[in-house]
């Protein structure tokens, strides 16, 4: 990676206003402020154009811009750093290969995020296949749902998320953590909005049930 490429930390709370178009654009990308100035020359569209012109350092800048922001989603979706990094790396490469098909380069982030969501689905399916759980317990051993007294809150959440169906987990993260609205989620996942609402509700209900005792304790 070129040393001259600035490292941008994505604003995690960013969510630009939804436009009035029938299909509101996915609004995950916008130029970041650095030192109080908006560096329009570093906009996603500019970096995409430079990349298509053969400037790999421009693509490196895009990756640095979105790695942590999207890495958060991948980490929670897949449950660990290594799988998240694999999914993200894979997504970057796929995005590069298909960059010419990105019709709205100013919304490169949203376009990249969709690639990542799909990659996470693929990795998740593979993980589910590898880790087949056996519910059998010997008759003389009671099931044990006990937690250490101070199992960290983030581990409690991680365990609870792990127990959700992948589609429920995905919907919950997209809605409440990544802040997408249902139209954006539908465009990203291909699922209809009523189905997505149901998934979010069920994920919420299940998380509430799984974490209720921990929260109260």
Partner 1 sequence: MSAARTLLVSLLLTLPGVAAAQDARLAERLDGATAASVQQTVDSARSRGLPTEPLVQKALEGGTLGASGDKIVAAVSALHGQLGRARSALGRSASESELTAAAGALRAGLPPSALSRLQSLRSGKPLVVPIAVLTDLVAEGVPPEQATRSVLDLAREGRPDDEFVALRRQIQIRRQGGTADPMNRPALRPAADPPVDR
Partner 2 sequence: MPADHDDRLPDALLQRVVAELKQPVRLDPAVDHRALEEIRAESSGWHASANGHRWGVWIASAAVAAGLLVAVVFRIDQPSTAAAPAVAEVRLEDGAAKPVHLRLEAPASSKVAVVGDFNDWDPVATPLHLTEKGGVWTVELQLKPGRYHYTFLIDGRRWERDPSEPPAPGSDFGAPVSVLTVI
Interface residues toward partner 2, by CB under 8 A:
1, 12, 51-52, 56, 59-60, 63-64, 67-68, 71-72, 74-76, 81-82, 84-86, 88-90, 92-93, 96-101, 153-154, 157, 173, 175-177, 181-182, 193-194, 197, 200-201, 204, 207-208, 211-212, 215
User: In 3D, which of 212, 126, 113 has the Cα closest to residue 170?
Assistant: 113
The residue (of 156 and 187) whose beta carbon lies closer to partner 1 is 156
Task: Enumerate residues 6+ apart whose C-beta is below 8 A from 72.
Answer: 12, 177
Residue 162 contacts which entry, partner 1, partner 2, none (Cβ below 5-8 A, type-dependent) = partner 1
Contacts of 9 (CB under 8 A, 6+ apart): 32, 68
> Distance between CA atoms of 120 and 125, rounded to whole angstroms?
8
What phi and psi, each to the nearest 5 degrees, are found at residue 10?
A: -65, 140
Q: How far apart are CA 52 and CA 80, in angstroms?
A: 33
| Closest CB to partner 2 among residues 107, 119 | 119
Closer residue to partner 1 (CB): 97 or 154:
154
Q: How many residues bind partner 1 (CB under 8 A)?
A: 30
Give dist(CA 95, CA 129) in Å, integer. Answer: 26
Per-residue 3-state assignment (H helix, E strand, C coil) for 26-62 = CCCCCCCEECCEECHHHCHHHHHHHHHCCCHHHHHHH
Smallest separation, CB 27 to partner 1 (Å): 31
By CB under 8 A, tell whether 217 contacts partner 1. no
Residues numbered 118 to 177 that lie near partner 1 (CB under 8 A) are: 130-138, 140-141, 143-152, 155, 158-159, 162
Q: Which residues would be at the binding site for partner 1 (CB under 8 A)?
A: 79-83, 130-138, 140-141, 143-152, 155, 158-159, 162
């Amino acid at each position: 990676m070129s040393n001259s490429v600035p490292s941008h930390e994505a604003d995690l709370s960013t969510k630009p206003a939804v436009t009035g178009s029938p299909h509101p654009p996915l609004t995950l990308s916008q130029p970041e402020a650095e030192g109080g100035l908006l560096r329009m020359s570093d906009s996603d569209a500019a970096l995409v154009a430079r990349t298509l012109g053969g400037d790999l350092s421009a693509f490196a800048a895009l990756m640095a811009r979105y790695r942590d922001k999207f890495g958060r989603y991948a980490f929670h979706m897949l449950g660990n750093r290594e799988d998240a990094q694999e999914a993200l790396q894979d997504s970057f490469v796929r995005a590069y290969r298909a960059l010419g098909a990105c019709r709205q380069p100013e919304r490169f982030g949203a376009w990249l995020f969709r690639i990542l969501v799909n990659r996470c689905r693929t990795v998740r399916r593979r993980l589910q296949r590898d880790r087949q759980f056996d519910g059998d317990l010997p008759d003389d051993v009671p099931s044990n749902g006990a937690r250490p007294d101070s199992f960290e809150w983030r581990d409690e959440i991680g365990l609870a998320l792990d127990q959700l169906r992948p589609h429920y987990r995905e919907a919950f993260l997209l809605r409440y953590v990544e802040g997408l609205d249902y139209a954006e989620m539908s465009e990203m996942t291909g699922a209809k909005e009523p189905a997505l609402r149901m998934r979010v509700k069920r994920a919420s209900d299940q998380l509430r049930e799984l974490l209720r005792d921990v929260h109260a304790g």
